[in-house]
Chain A
Amino acid sequence: MAMEDLTTPMSRRHFIHKGGACMLFALSSTNILGKNNNGPYWAGTAKQGNDYWLIIVDDIGQVFRQIKLPSRAHGLQKSSQGHLIVCGRRPGTWMLLLQHRHAKPHWLNAAANRPLSGHCCFSADGNHFYSAENALEASQGTIGVWDSHSGERLYEWPSQGIGPHEIQLSSDGIHLWVANGGILTHPQSGRDKLNLDSMESNISYLCLIDGALINQYTIDEPQLSLRHIAVNQNNQVAVACQYQGPEYDRKNLLLLINDGQIDYLPCDPKVTVELNNYLGSVTFDASGQWIAGSSPRSNRVVIWHLTKDMGAIHYYTLAIADACGLSANNELGGFIISTGMGHLYQYAATTKNLSAMDSDTSSTKHFSWDNHLANNIIPPLTV
């Protein structure tokens, strides 16, 4: 599969946007590329017109690489070694693997009868990555295990549920958290949810040596799909949900797994109503003490704080149009937020300051950031 790799042309567009003629000569140098060779970067996928792109931006939101994708993508993740993996979506037939941010794209096909069902994640050493898949013949989820260097699919494990969606490495690096969303779909049925009356969702904790099930978490709310997860340094897991029951029935949507227990985090009932039973993404900040959950269907980003004294509190709710993609920056309580309107924001929970990044993908370019951002590799936080 050969796709267009437009490394740096956004820099040209940026030049045009800025309009400075002198910038033309700046383009003649390698400075624009050079300044992006080091330092933090974020990656996300986006739609522009009828095209889908992987977009890599620097810490001020300037695009320094974009790669055209064969179709819409969903989850993406960076490894601690700098690999990047992007998963295709509906149909989940392809993945894009970069060995590093400047590497040549390596396109991978999903295994036969194992369409991808959402997200991938890397092992701690970056030598392997794992993919959430559906085993069509059994209507059960599987976890594909892949070699990050060769792109070879090595083997698979049961995901221990139906419809695995987001998967994340545990903080000890030897387990895998799997959000089995519980919703059965089939490529031949498009987006139809085939088992809403009998769905069962769970969070499974697998051993990365053999895929064995170590623990499993369920809640007494069968139509609450546990879909997106984030893991912090203490192996606490934030679980963002989507409720598949009646629209008028509004459910609490964020749970936390802590010390072997799963429980709801508090949320202002008014905000719970506003969220429209849908959280699209969740992440911890760099300290692991703050959680952001996004609800594009209500134009909200909800912030929770895990305090030592008072436990978990619903800290604040931001109103941002079509916000969904979330990532931590390297600040305490700091998040990057992307929107379908083309904006990238930085939010500092400690000061409640929301500021727009000087983004090269702003709405004036008609970019729509898709559901997820890949987390930056976070340096040790100094508090």
Chain B
Amino acid sequence: MIEIHPIPIRTRLLQTLLATLLFLITTSSYANPVVTGEYVEEWLDQYVTPSYLALHQANLALQGQAHELCDQVSLQALDEMQPYLNQALEALAYSQAIDGGPMQSELRNFQLYYWPDRTNLVTKQLGQLLDQPDLLVLQENGLRHSSVALTGYPSLERLLYMPHYREFVIRDQQGPACQYIVAVSDNLVRLTAEITDAWENSWRRQLLEPGNSGSLFKEQNDQVRFVFTNIDVLLTKIISKKLAKPLASSVSKAKPKRLESWRSGHSLIMLKANVRGLTDSLNLTLKPALIESGGAAKWQQIRHEISLIDQQLDQLPTPLVAHLDEPKYWQATQQLQVQFTQFQALLQSIYPSLNVQLGFNAYDGD
């Protein structure tokens, strides 16, 4: 309990003045996030929509190539299809700074790209499918009800890049293997079409109009939190899944085949695309908010950290899977992990000054 003593009138007046000043300070700095709806709209127009459109276009191109493949199955045709898969994987990685919303609805993120695959489920299920083809799976929209291990890029990556799968496809010619590649490419197109439709017809409005009835976002705080939580989730995924698992605790325990997309040698390309997605998102949201609130120096610090990450990525050899268990490159990759961790910590230290709150219970519960 606080004991209250009589207060002289001059002291009261002084307290009143101080209180009024404090009120003005607190209400101006503790109101809404400094990141405004206008920045969120820019983020939607210049990052979210283009990134999903690019992913959809890449899937359409992949689909076109897949349909041509079955006309004349050959190793060369499989080789020619590889760049289309690579382009789609890179587009997916670029879009991963926004993994929430329609991407997570109906587990589309897993349907597109089931990774990490701790129990090697894709290999097991793909083996079963090719041994005893289930034609229902290959019919139109059949993959809609299939295991996520069979519906996306990971199985295509095996079929296009792994020698024994490639040989199987050639032997099989126009059999189920080729039909399966077509079915997966059709499914990928369906999924990204659903994602772009959902953003255009529902999520965009909900995000830009927080508080409207039916909106998942009740206030501007929720709207801004959505943007930065997505950024933070990707950083956590890079640190804890894309890097920590392959690195393990020492070079002798390194597990290169825990790298993302190692079969296509795309691990580094995916990471670089992730960084581009993060950079573009931050450029559109955090940068203007920091500059407007007098935090230009902080933005320079962020830029510096990003450039260090870019430099570190450039120093790593491709494909990383072939070099991660070499001490020099293991240490360089570990340094990259440290840089991402520091970068995440820097952003998290800046958010409170902009009145941005990430989730609390969502991050750490029992």
Binding site for B on A (CB under 8 A): 7-9, 15-19, 21, 24-25, 27-30, 33, 47, 49, 74, 89, 102, 118, 165, 227, 246-248, 250, 270, 273-274, 278, 280, 296-297, 299, 319-325, 339-342, 363-366, 368-371
Min C-beta distance of A10 to chain B, whole Å? 11
A47 — which chain B residues lie within 8 A by C-beta?
360
Other-chain contact of A340, B12, B352, B361, B366 (Cβ < 8 Å) = B361
A8 — which chain B residues lie within 8 A by C-beta?
1-2
Residue count of chain B within 8 Å CB distance of chain A: 41
B297 within 8 A of A: no
Task: Give A17 to B23 CA distance when docked, in angstroms.
Answer: 6
Task: Give A321 to B219 CA distance when docked, in angstroms.
Answer: 10
* Majority SS at the chain A contact face: mixed
Min C-beta distance of B122 to chain A, whole Å? 12
Q: Is the CB of B221 within 8 A of A341?
A: yes
Min C-beta distance of B140 to chain A, whole Å? 23
**Ranked 8 nearest A-B pairs via Cβ:** A340-B360, A296-B361, A324-B361, A19-B23, A368-B360, A248-B110, A296-B362, A322-B359
B24-32, B82-90, B276-284: which lies at the interface: B24-32
Task: Give A108 to B293 CA distance when docked, in angstroms.
Answer: 45
* B149: nearest chain-A partner, CB-CB: A248
Min C-beta distance of A320 to chain B, whole Å? 7
Q: Is the CB of A363 within 8 A of B357?
A: yes
B19 — which chain A residues lie within 8 A by C-beta?
15-16, 19, 21, 24
B107 within 8 A of A: yes
Within 8 A of A (CB), among B102-151: 104-107, 110, 114, 118-119, 121, 148
Asked if A321 meets B20 with Cβ closer than 8 Å, knowing A280-B361, A341-B357, A364-B31, the reply is no
Q: A24-B16, A280-B365, A321-B217 are in contact. List 13 more A-B contacts (CB 8 A).
A: A7-B1, A15-B19, A16-B26, A33-B1, A273-B105, A296-B362, A297-B362, A320-B218, A321-B222, A321-B225, A339-B361, A366-B355, A369-B360
B216 within 8 A of A: yes
A247 — which chain B residues lie within 8 A by C-beta?
110
In the complex, per-residue mask of B29-52: 1 if CB is within 8 Å of any chain A CB, else 0: 011000000000000000000000
Task: Give A110 to B147 CA distance when docked, in angstroms.
Answer: 46
Task: Give A19 to B352 CA distance when docked, in angstroms.
Answer: 23
B4 — which chain A residues lie within 8 A by C-beta?
27-30
**What are 5 contact pairs spanning A and B, CB under 8 A?**
A322-B360, A322-B361, A340-B362, A363-B221, A365-B30
B361 — which chain A residues lie within 8 A by C-beta?
280, 296, 322-325, 339-340, 368-371
A19 — which chain B residues lie within 8 A by C-beta?
19-20, 23, 27
Task: Give A165 to B365 CA distance when docked, in angstroms.
Answer: 12
Task: Give A299 to B359 CA distance when docked, in angstroms.
Answer: 10
Within 8 A of A (CB), among B216-232: 216-218, 221-222, 225
Task: Give A340 to B7 CA distance when docked, in angstroms.
Answer: 38
Task: Give A342 to B33 CA distance when docked, in angstroms.
Answer: 14
Min C-beta distance of B218 to chain A, whole Å? 7
Task: Give A304 to B230 CA distance when docked, in angstroms.
Answer: 30
B217 — which chain A residues lie within 8 A by C-beta?
321
B15 within 8 A of A: yes
Asked if A370 meets B106 with Cβ closer than 8 Å, knowing A24-B16, A341-B225, the reply is no
Q: Is the CB of A371 within 8 A of B365?
A: yes
A102 — which chain B residues lie within 8 A by C-beta?
1
Within 8 A of A (CB), among B1-25: 1-2, 4, 6-7, 12, 15-16, 19-20, 22-23
Q: Is the CB of B366 within 8 A of A74?
A: yes
Task: Give A47 to B357 CA distance when docked, in angstroms.
Answer: 12
Min C-beta distance of B366 to chain A, whole Å? 6
* B23: nearest chain-A partner, CB-CB: A19
Min C-beta distance of B217 to chain A, whole Å? 8
